Structure 1
Amino acid sequence: MNPADLCFSTATELAAALRRREVSAREVVTAHLERVDRVNPSVNAIVTLVADRALEQAAAADERLASGAEAGPLHGLPVAHKDLHDTAGIRTTYGSPVFADHVPARDHLVVERLKGAGAITLGKTNVPELGMGSHTVNPLFGATRNPYDLSRSAGGSSGGAGAALACGMQPLADGSDTGGSLRNPASFNNVVGLRPSPGRVPSWPDKAPWGQLSVKGPMARTVRDVALMLSVLAGPDPRSPLALDTPGSVCAGPLDGDIRGWRVAWSPDLGGSVPVDPEVRDVVRGAVEVFGALGCEVEEVCPDLSGADEAFLIQRAWQMELAYGPLLDEHRHRMAPDVVWNIEEGRKLTGPDLGRAQVLQAALFHRVREFFESYDVLLLPVSQVAPFDVGLAYPASVDGTGMETYLDWMRSAYLITMTGCPALSVPAGFTPAGLPVGLQVVGPHRGDAAVLRAGHAFEQATRVGERRPEVVAAGTTGGGRP
């Protein structure tokens, strides 16, 4: 296999070839490091690289396999971890000047599980400051650029992960999602991202382990690869009190199969509750027609999402203050205005505010639960806009409606967060300007398998995710490693 084949093989194919010893881990890691050298200077996706360490791990992996040791499901696959996830002995900055030189002593649970499955750490992927927002830019490393148009945003907060996948710098990527941070960068970069059901992927360490707003999850270039990675990340852990008991291996279950007769709901604008740019609506509408061609019963309808907006904004502000309030007291002058604003919003909250958010979300859960008694999946836009100017903090307006805060333009994702349902972003098509648009596939409570099956069927019918960005071919020559 030549380097280009290695870098754009699916993770599933690559893992099988590695186990059969048709290619070595050293060859795979070397090919991906060469891709990072050539393309990363253009997109700024990987911000900390541990090339020598990765090559040493690859050599050790080859030796273990040659000795007859059993290979893990991700044996020899290179992965750069989100810079919000602690990596033992590797700089983890959270995109903040406050943590510019922070080197954790332990791995986050998702890193621990990936390494335990045989993955090889390449480094860290870029994030917004403290992971706040769906546009990846921070004072330490600058902005991650969209591989399909370098003047555009790569989304966020897992924006570095999404861009690195699109460019063939890694076959799999870990991420996290509170208001769309796995789904939005997947949509912007023409890759796949899954927000799993809360508890599907355990989290540790965690200041608020009983919370369900933020989840960790997988990103990849295909739905099958996302399922493979989920099978490694998922499963119980005694350090995570909400972790589901279902073993991770179940998540790698069969994806192929006829979805003919599935009852598919869809909405271009979440029942009229959010503005969506026409070019995005057009792509999503075309994607929905594919489900009709696959034999599904498609109906334009949306569950009642009232109360989701208020509940999310309250819970997010509370979470931001809990996580970063002490930093604000000591480092306000080193923090971005949007970060300061969201923490201060948390400080304004009262006990009745938090209680109201819980009541609103409980009512929302039951309305959505009843909705899914009549439908197998719900289809929606992932993002309300296509990738926007990388120099903007966030879009000023969407389809003529002004956006007052850095959160408003992602309501199409964060309203779904509040339902507690799993949601998948799968490549759906491109705008006339050649910018990627993702389709959001939402399933019932803990219906991760349903969204993966639906997304896989759509992916196989369309092959949209196979379109590569021009920067992969053009690239740069040389360039310093981060």
Structure 2
Amino acid sequence: MDLLDRDALEISALLEARELSAEELMKATLERIKAVNGKVNAIISLRDPETLLAEARKVDNSPRRGWLHGIPLAVKDLANVAGIETSMGSPIMAGHIAKEDSVFVSRMRRAGGLFIGKTNTPEFGLGSHTFNPVHGHTQNPYDLSKSAGGSSGGAAAALASRMLCIADGSDMMGSLRNPAAWCNVYGFRPSWGRVPSDPEGEMFLHQLSTNGPMGRSPADIAALLEVQSGWDHSQPHGLLPEIYLDRLMADLAFARIGWLGDWGGAYPMEAGVMDTCKQALKSFEQMGSIVEDVPPPMPAEQLWDAWITLRSWAIAAKLGPLLETHRDELKPEAIWEIERGLKLSAMEVHRASVVRSQWFRKAADLFEEYDLLVMPTAQVWPFPVEQRYPKSIAGRAMDTYHRWMEVVVPVSLIGLPCLSVPAGFGENGLPMGLQLIGPARGDLRVLQLGQAWHEGTQWVSKRPPQLP
């Protein structure tokens, strides 16, 4: 097996045993980036190679700091890494060099990670398609003419093309899940509060987005989650750290799986998506799980209306000041979100949160019956990279720039842990994924069942055919 085909924990074990040096790993990583990044455009703001090799040599001669010791990392370009540009894909932020690490990044650094650069993202992370005017488009490694998804598209594409063995991302509306599905890797949205954001601005109200890990196995994700997670004393919300990796082994025998599918037809699906997902679902049954259809727990339109209210409110709160000072440099979708959010009344936001609360209670009841709820990760296959977003699905018009990703909303709205797992490939040769959804704070059970899925399916072993 090629070194860069190995999972992150395997590489870490080789480093710990001194069977591999950090310098050798860094050299192989930089050679891989040189060979394929020009086609994929996943890694951006790459640091000077000689400096990186020198840092790797220094790591080889220093005490081991954690399981990431000597492993090259590139952080999604919405978070800060000291000394590296944080553009957020926006010309407004282009050239801004971070002075300090984001909270979860500092934890990855303390565990020994070597930061080589960033991974590409849409402008301010808006939209599930990774393109921006600063760093351009990220291509899908499985079809270079297609989107890698987003907003963690650069991270997913870098993992799939073997430029990284482990990565971070963030997820407001499927941004850890959609690109994982489209790039045949794993993306984990942890329970809200599990991985802290940065202690800045308003810290009490906006509970939608979260940072989290991506990888080519749930075991790698569990290990990185242990590093990233844990309460930050400077923030009002958060969860205490937990041990995941040592408790990961479980089997699917007698697990009860609730299949939500397309939410009773509320979510239109492109041809072939449901067939691929239903075929993948049989793997649960083959492993001894009980799979049952679950009718829609709530009207999808209620969830959508609550979601776009809370989302626009959060985005307007964060980006609103830019509307007056940099309107000409914002993409239309950002302007739409900000203007919509600025018009909301306090009671409109309250009513949206009431719906969110109702859905949380209904979901809690469902998890009294099921270990997992399962849905497709996306409603469409990866689309042409030059397309901004799908305007229709199966003949149904999309009324916003993000309606085509509505299937991720039930998770995002109430902050549930959710692992996107590879579900195989369609007749078109493109990857698809399933969302494995767990109860609030049930991250471990989701990862346990995800690891059993991984060992039973091994879809990740199918490498991108268009790359060396």
Q: Distance in 2 between matches of 1:441 and 1:81?
A: 25
Consecutive unaligned residues of structure 2, counting only runs of 5 or more, are none
Residues 65, 110 of structure 2: 8 Å contact kept: no
Q: 228, 243, 253: which one pairs with 2:246?
A: 253
Paired AA for residue 132 in structure 2:
N
Deviations 1:352-386 (A, max 9, x none): 11111111111110011011101110111001111
Q: Distance in 2 between matches of 1:152 and 1:93?
A: 24
Deviation at 1:415, TM superposition (A): 2.5
Q: 337, 340, 348: which one pairs with 1:342?
A: 337
Residues 32, 170 of structure 1: 8 Å contact kept: yes
Which residue of structure 2 lines up, in the alignment, with residue 385 of structure 1?
A: 380
Helix, strand or coil: the match of 1:142? coil
Q: Distance in 2 between matches of 1:239 and 1:471?
A: 46
Helix, strand or coil: the match of 2:409? helix
Q: Distance in 2 between matches of 1:354 and 1:244?
A: 25
Q: Distance in 2 between matches of 1:207 and 1:195?
A: 23
Q: Distance in 1 between matches of 2:337 and 2:251?
A: 45
Residues 230, 252 of structure 1: 8 Å contact kept: no
Q: Distance in 2 between matches of 1:23 and 1:284?
A: 39
**1:49 pairs with 2:46:** yes
Q: Normalization by structure 1: what TM-score?
A: 0.94
Matched-pair identity in %: 45
**1:444 pairs with 2:439:** yes
Equivalence map 1:39-438=2 (5 Å)? 39-50=36-47, 51-64=49-62, 69-210=63-204, 211-245=206-240, 247-248=241-242, 250-306=243-299, 307-438=302-433
What is the total number of aligned residue pairs between the two structures? 464
Of stretches 69-78 and 22-31 in structure 1, the one that deviates more from structure 2 is 69-78
Q: Distance in 2 between matches of 1:52 and 1:123?
A: 14
Consecutive unaligned residues of structure 1, counting only runs of 5 or more, are 474-482
For the aligned residues, what is the CA RMSD?
Answer: 1.2
Deviations 1:52-105 (A, max 9, x none): 3422321111010xxxx2431111111100000011111110000011111111
Which residue of structure 2 lines up, in the alignment, with residue 25 of structure 1?
A: 22
Residues 378, 443 of structure 1: 8 Å contact kept: yes
Q: Distance in 1 between matches of 2:409 and 2:51?
A: 37
Deviation at 1:141, TM superposition (A): 1.4
Deviation at 1:257, TM superposition (A): 2.2
Deviations 1:98-120 (A, max 9, x none): 11111111111121111111111
> Does the C-alpha gap of structure 1 residues 323 and 258 become closer, same or farther in structure 2, counting only changes over 3 Å?
same
Deviation at 1:255, TM superposition (A): 2.2
Deviations 1:5-64 (A, max 9, x none): 221110010001101111000111110111101100001101110133422321111010
Helix, strand or coil: the match of 1:152? strand
Q: Distance in 2 between matches of 1:321 and 1:461?
A: 44
Q: Distance in 2 between matches of 1:199 and 1:312?
A: 18
Deviation at 1:205, TM superposition (A): 3.3
Which residue of structure 1 lines up, in the alignment, with residue 461 of structure 2?
A: 466
Q: Distance in 1 between matches of 2:36 and 2:466?
A: 7
Deviation at 1:239, TM superposition (A): 2.0
Of stretches 11-20 and 234-243 in structure 1, the one that deviates more from structure 2 is 234-243
Deviation at 1:204, TM superposition (A): 1.3
Deviations 1:392-425 (A, max 9, x none): 1101211221112111011111232113211110
Residues 260, 296 of structure 2: 8 Å contact kept: no
Deviation at 1:267, TM superposition (A): 2.3
Q: Distance in 1 between matches of 2:51 and 2:226?
A: 26
Deviation at 1:278, TM superposition (A): 2.8
Paired AA for residue 234 in structure 1:
S
Of stretches 306-315 and 123-132 in structure 1, the one that deviates more from structure 2 is 306-315
Q: Distance in 1 between matches of 2:9 and 2:116?
A: 19
**1:15 pairs with 2:12:** yes
Which residue of structure 1 lines up, in the alignment, with residue 450 of structure 2?
A: 455
Q: Which runs of 4+ in 1 moved over 6 A?
A: none
Q: Distance in 1 between matches of 2:212 and 2:283?
A: 27
Q: Distance in 2 between matches of 1:272 and 1:104?
A: 45
Residues 108, 205 of structure 1: 8 Å contact kept: no
Deviations 1:138-171 (A, max 9, x none): 0111110001001100000000000000011111
Paired AA for residue 99 in structure 1:
M
Q: 18, 23, 34: which one pairs with 2:31?
A: 34
